A and B are shown apart, each in its own frame.
Chain A
Amino acid sequence: MPAQVGLIQCPLMSIAAEALPAPFPHRHLLGIEGLSSSEITALLDLSEEAAKRGRQVDKKRDDLRGRTLINLFFEASTRTQSSFELAGKRLGADVMNMSIPTSSIKKGETLIDTAVTLNAMRPDLLVVRHHAAGAVELLSQKVDCSVITRATAATEHPTQALLDALTIRRHKNRIEGLIVAICGDILHSRVARSNILLLNALGARVRVVAPSTLLGAAVDRLGVEVYTSMHEGLKDADIVMMLRLQRERMVSSLIPSQREYFHFYGLDYDKLARAKPDALIMHPGPMNRGVEIDSNVADDARSVIREQVEMGVAVRIAVLQALARHLPNQ
């Protein structure tokens, strides 16, 4: 979405104590698409600082003091919402969670009216999760504040991709040249799409592994190697990233059963043995043990699933800090 690039309407400010290693010229964060590799790296460096602070007793800063952050969700979500809420609070913002359930939409309000109503409340930052592709982009054009996509169904989940990259970088000290196998329900995963964009931008070799019915059409055009066999797809992988099987989004019979799925696509020690011995095991959560990942594998020493959650808060703090620089100061 190049349209979001350079939408700076206000003078840049220097409220953050330390300077970003590279300028972050975006007013919104709607996806990984449109971000340059240096901008991504700058966000990761900033996240690293936040991760350090997150382990201190005093985790608080005042970058966002006096600012209002609205956590807006059109679709139920708990994890990313709590993560953003925590991030906002650690930066001193007033955080409000707002649910716009489908019933309100049934009352007849359009998305644009919702945006105008919200805008009148004068928030500074809006974190939005909406199920429809393009909805958050539309919203971002109708409000004066900064907008962050929390997750748009089947398109992007930028902060997840950033936190995954941060977790990888902390363990492997690099992204470039790593073989990353993203496995499972690619079709319904916004995580996969954002990760493909980000990891490619930073020079990783990205593979996707899934049954054909869960791959999505022409996925090979996204710059990934495509496998339908875990044994082939995991060969020599540095990172094994499992995705949740999103049965609730499946409108038709795409796989026969959970037991068959686990047999052929669930990450167990047998399949994991194909990856490098020090491969990292990742999962964006919530995970279904026994469906896409074996319970023991999920708790293996190589599993960084819990660390991903910790890095999630750090990455969201960094994103809020970076965007806060473009907020009007008067």
Chain B
Amino acid sequence: MTAMDAQHEQHDTDRRRPHQPLALVNARLVDPASGLDAFGGLLIENGVIADLGMHIMEGSVEGAESLDCGGRTVAPGLIDMMVFCGEPGHEHRETLATASRAAAAGGVTTICCMPNTDPVIDDVALVDFILRRARDTALVHVHPMAAMTRDLKGEEMAEIGLLRDAGAVAFTNGKTSVASARLMRNVLSYANDYGALVVHHLEDDSLTQDGVMNEGEVATRLGLRGIPTAAETIMLERDIRLVELTGARYHAGQISCRASLEVIRAASPRPPRHLRCLRQSSHAE
């Protein structure tokens, strides 16, 4: 449990005066940007961080309310780039309200939700719906990603310009890859005109088929259908070539094998401007 949870627990009974400073004391302060990792306290005045360090402790700041973090971590809010939320369409599973509470409980203050909902977020009205639902029900910042192809079918480009203007922060095809290299090229090229980020799932469907785990000895022993790493690397190699061709901003949605890292390293001497990747531990070898 992080200090933020403690703060949230107190949230309901928060009766402090609006501008009374708050000191978070006895905390582990972590700030990746400055490389900070130390024990101490942090002072919040008028909603912004006013001071931090060892000297901030219980009673050290006059007029401030202090909150003992009990050694828990205080860090900048985390951002989850890939949240599969059930709203709209699967509210029995999860809503923006419950997803955002789960996020807050884990120190995540911003979530980017994926468009593979029902209906798919491929229309301006749905981006607007997510933003309004988030405003009314969510605890954390919610940024919708929109579908890069209509209905995520991988056949026609979605309205990337209008969706971006409506507030979509990135474009993705959900849990599926766009099989057509021609369409992928068009999407990257078109998205680049709007400076839009494309986040792509990497999986060559014709190789994955009904596979459920890494192809290899274990899969054979268990009698389960395997997925070769090439299913991921082929798609990644292809996308890197297309990113080089179009100059688009691109994010490899998830990387689950060593071979993919080698592909990205090999691309580094001729780096596409905005190539990034996210390692997904659940798929790791």
Contact = CB atoms under 8 A, between A and B. Distances in A.
B190 interface: yes
A263 interface: yes
A254 B161 contact: no
Contact of B186 (A228, A253, A264): A253
A212 B246 contact: yes
Interface string A209-222: 00111000000000
Interface in B29-84: none
A255 B190 contact: yes
B241 to A, nearest CB: 15
Contacts of B189: 212-213
Nearest to A212: B189
Interface stretch (B88-96, B137-145, B151-159, B249-257): B151-159
Pick from A229, A254, A259 the residue with the most CB of B within 10 Å: A254
Interface in A219-270: 228-229, 252-257, 259-260, 263-264
A255 B182 CA distance: 13
A contacts with B: majority SS: loop
Contact of B192 (A212, A229, A254, A263): A212
Contacts of A212: 189-190, 192-193, 246
B contacts with A: majority SS: helix
B126 interface: no
B160 interface: yes
A228 B157 contact: no
A260 B157 CA distance: 11
A228 B159 contact: no
A209 to B, nearest CB: 11
B213 to A, nearest CB: 34
B159 A213 contact: no
Interface residues of A, number: 15
B266 interface: no
A228 B195 CA distance: 11
Interface string B156-168: 1111111000000
Contacts of A253: 155-157, 183, 186
B157 A256 contact: yes
Contacts of B157: 253-256
Interface of A: 211-213, 228-229, 252-257, 259-260, 263-264
Sorted from nearest, which 6 A-B pairs have the closest CB atoms?
A228-B193, A256-B159, A212-B189, A260-B159, A253-B157, A256-B157
Given A253-B157, A254-B157, A254-B186, 14 more contacts: A212-B190, A212-B193, A212-B246, A229-B193, A252-B186, A253-B183, A253-B186, A254-B190, A255-B157, A256-B150, A256-B158, A256-B162, A259-B159, A260-B161
19 contacts: A211-B190, A212-B189, A212-B192, A212-B193, A213-B189, A229-B193, A252-B182, A252-B183, A253-B155, A253-B186, A254-B190, A255-B157, A256-B156, A256-B158, A256-B159, A256-B190, A257-B159, A260-B160, A260-B162
